[in-house]
Amino acid sequence: TQLLEQSPQFLSIQEGENLTVYCNSSSVFSSLQWYRQEPGEGPVLLVTVVTGGEVKKLKRLTFQFGDARKDSSLHITAAQPGDTGLYLCAGEGYQLIWGAGTKLIIKP
Amino acid sequence: NAGVMQNPRHLVRRRGQEARLRCSPMKGHSHVYWYRQLPEEGLKFMVYLQKENIIDESGMPKERFSAEFPKEGPSILRIQQVVRGDSAAYFCASSYVQTSGELFFGEGSRLTVL
């Protein structure tokens, strides 16, 4: 059974700091998606990574897919309160194996 | 959330009642997916439908749960004889073609069973 483990489960930092959250698996994924979910809302797709070693940037967010396509990371530079939310990674087609998420709080 | 409409946003039912959750996909999308999310957990796939067809219902409990996506109208997730364990947020997503994982989600329907 494919599983995605996300760490840390919870992170609270001050505005302006940098942070990295992780999505790990013992299985190979053909692609991974990162979503952000705010309270009371549905997940919103941030990025898809497909190629081992791929790096994608979305403003202050940098996403990396591991060379072996078993793990991914999300790095946020100079975090802002608007980055607060639940960050979820998911993989493998519409059935989407989901991680449990990292709950991120950025304090002003 | 890119135009996927779900209603009701909140639904309260007593044990044994029926819950019906509706999902209108984005315009032009003919593929609909339902997921369930428990508090502090990720989403779990339930069912994948195209117009008038259930493509994959492997994630949906075989009893009490059913889903449809008629030729006209929204997709409906129906839960009969609800129990407290059915309390969760139910999300619908849609795509233009069978997705590789990139989905547009609705805002969810939150079911509370008393």
Which pLDDT score is estimated for B99? 66
Q: Which residue of A has its CA nearest to B40?
A: A100
User: Is A31 in contact with B95 (Cβ distance < 8 A)?
Assistant: no
A30: CB partners within 8 A, 6+ apart: A50, A69, A91, A92, B100
User: Is A96 in contact with B56 (Cβ distance < 8 A)?
Assistant: no
User: Is B101 in contact with A40 (Cβ distance < 8 A)?
Assistant: no
Residue B54 in this model has a pLDDT that exceeds 70:
yes
CB atoms within 10 A of CB A81: 10
Residue B1 in this model has a pLDDT that exceeds 50:
no
Residue B106 in this model has a pLDDT that exceeds 70:
yes
User: Is B105 in contact with A40 (Cβ distance < 8 A)?
Assistant: no
Which pLDDT score is estimated for B28? 84
Q: At A8, is the pLDDT very low, low, confident or very high (cuts 50, 70, 90)?
A: very high
Put simply, the chain B residues between 43 and 102 with a CB less than 8 A from any chain A CB are 43-45, 48, 56, 58-59, 91, 93, 95, 98-102
Residue carrying structure tokens 């209108």:
B24
Interface residue B103 vs chain A (CB under 8 A): yes
Mean pLDDT of A82-104: 87
